[in-house]
Amino acid sequence: MPESAQFKKNAQRQLNNTGLQANLQRFGQRFAKARAIAIAELEDFSGLRQRATAWRDLTLANLDDWLIRFETHAQRMGTQVHWATTAAEVNQIVLEIAHKNKVRKVIKSKSMVSEETGLNAALQQSGIDTIETDLGEYILQLAGEPPSHLVAPALHKNVEEVADLFQEHHHTPRQTDIPTLCREARHQLRPHFLSADMGISGGNFLVADTGALVLLTNEGNARLVTTLPRVHVAITGIEKVIPSLDALAPLLRLLPRSATGQSITNDVSLLTGPRRPGDLEGPEEHHVILVDGGRSELLGSELQPALRCIRCGACMNHCPVYQNIGGHAYGWVYPGPIGAVLTPAYLGLEHARDLPQAATLCGACEVVCPVSIPLPDLLRVWRQRSVSRGLRPWPERVLLRLWLWCAMHPLLYRWIHRRLSWLLRQLANDSGQITYFPGLTDWTQGRNLKAPDQPPFHAQWAQRHRS
């Protein structure tokens, strides 16, 4: 059973993990505040957001056509386009390409889809050395942990933990100065960049009109991964296609600003095909793998807006639940509000039952999402499906039916409120506080409940009117 099925337990564990809590505290509102400043600099954020949303919707409405258009243009430029229905198929395609090209070493820049498929393990199992090059992903590879954030994967680690990992794996003296650690990573990884046979990247966007793959990075690693090795394989979801560079502009203005508050990432690469005649460098083979992995299921459903996601991470940066438990509690690749929507879709609701419940529906995510994904509504859709598929625990189901029945019968409702009011007063201590309530321990474990000190409003009102 995937970790995502154990949300409540995971969350409890993370709340009591003092190391993680300190790291989350440090992270705090940092990205959120940087975003606010960067967004305020825009002349017309809401107009820009509307256009970005419209562009994403445009391709999603005719996704098949746009994918074919991308494929045609990409192939014309010499890119080999592959289609994969499942995670397993992705890995199989990558392994085939690797074997055909006698690949012994792979360098990777960040790819969330490859996290979905467990690609690193598959490559290692076939004896192919695989090295992550995004600093955060590299740290996690050394630690043997999954990412906990879309943009800052190693958010849950502090400098001391990184220092330990580097000392252990690099056999170098322990350093705790952050710039020194970054330099150390550069020195350690440079030889791998130069000796790798294959580079694997994700893809932020696919431009249908030109057949280009668009990559956004800050570290420069994606450029190295896509320039130096003989073979470049990009793995990306089918929903990432956009019509043209016209569509790219608003998305480029929004993605880095929403993510980290940068006006643009340091590198934006548009890659079209393999090396050309006369070129001194560049991969001899360029592959793009288009991955379904559950995405097509969302099309045409109430959940379709989730496919607009451009993976900026703003929703989790602003989510009070995420901020308190971190990304690992969600138990799969995508954490936070968008993770709570995508995980049940890609793994099956029965493997992620509690994720749609993991929100107060406070709406902070929806307000900041650069492509206007109504995340609270989408979480509610999953809650509806949980109810209609009978996936909620029976006490909850019984209570809901009971509540509805009473609420439909006002006289009964009045009577129950009077009894409840009385009962609450009985349960209260001398200062009117309830500190334990059978069946409501999730509330009373951490909060008191102040009992009413009068009969219900309607009871009093009725009495006044009678007298």
> Considering only residues 233-262, where is the footprint of another protein by CB under 8 A?
238, 243-250, 252-253, 260
Sign of CA dihedral 191, 158, 141, 290: negative
Residue 313 interacts with, from another protein, ligand SF4, none (CB under 5-8 Å by kind): ligand SF4
Question: To the nearest whole angstrom, how small is the minimum distance from the Cβ of residue 85 to another protein?
Answer: 5
Of 122, 92, 117, 90, the C-alpha closest to 106 is 122
Residues that bind ligand SF4 (CB under 6 A): 150, 258, 309-315, 338, 369-371, 373
Number of residues that bind another protein (CB under 8 A): 166
Residues 23-62, one symbol each (x = binds another protein by CB under 8 A, - = not), give x--xx-xxx----------xxx---x--x--xx--xx-xx
Residue 444: C-alpha distances to residues 448, 449, 450 (Å): 6, 7, 11
Give the interface segment with another protein, choosing from 120-128, 336-344, 345-353, 402-410 (CB under 8 A). Answer: 402-410
Q: Which of residues 104-123 bind another protein (CB under 8 A)?
A: none
CA angle centred on 400, ends 394 and 402, rounded to 5°? 100
Nearer to ligand SF4 by Cβ, of 6 and 218: the residue is 218
Nearest distance from C-beta of residue 63 to another protein, angstroms: 5
Q: Which stretch binds another protein (CB under 8 A): 122-130, 183-191, 196-204, 334-342?
A: 183-191
Q: How far apart are CA 356 and CA 365, in angstroms?
A: 14
Give the footprint of another protein on residues 261-320 (CB under 8 A): 263-276, 278-282, 290, 292, 296-297, 299-301, 320
Query: Among the candidate windows 97-105, 118-126, 334-342, 459-467, which touches another protein by CB under 8 A?
Result: 459-467
Residue 186 contacts another protein per CB under 8 A: yes
The secondary structure of 162-225 as a DSSP string is HHHHHHHHH-------HHHHHHHHHHHHHHHHHH-SEEEE--SEEETTTTEEEEEESSSHHHHH
Distance CA 102, CA 124 (A): 14
Say which entry of ligand SF4, another protein, none residue 312 contacts (CB below 5 to 8 A, set by partner kind): ligand SF4
Question: Binding to another protein by residue 408, rule CB under 8 A?
Answer: yes
CB 333 within 8 A of CB 116: yes
In the complex with ligand SF4, which residue's Cβ is closer, 91 or 265? Answer: 265
CB atoms within 10 A of CB 73: 20
Stretch that binds another protein, among 122-130, 173-181, 334-342, 345-353 (CB under 8 A): 173-181
Phi, psi of 310 (to 5 degrees): -110, 15
Place of tokens 């749609």: 356
Q: Name the token pair of 214.
A: 């668009």
Query: Binding partner of residue 349 among another protein, ligand SF4, none, CB under 5 to 8 Å per kind?
Result: none
Query: Computed over its alpha carbons, how large is the radius of gyration of the chain?
Result: 26
Q: How far is the CB of 2 from another protein (least distance, A)?
A: 19
Please name which of 329, 351, 6, 388 lies closest in space to residue 148, comparing C-alpha atoms. Answer: 329
**Does the protein bind another protein through residue 210 (CB under 8 A)?**
yes
For another protein, the closer of residues 2 and 300 by Cβ is: 300
In whole angstroms, give the CA distance from residue 286 to residue 281: 13
Q: Which is nearer to ligand SF4, 55 or 166 (CB)?
A: 55
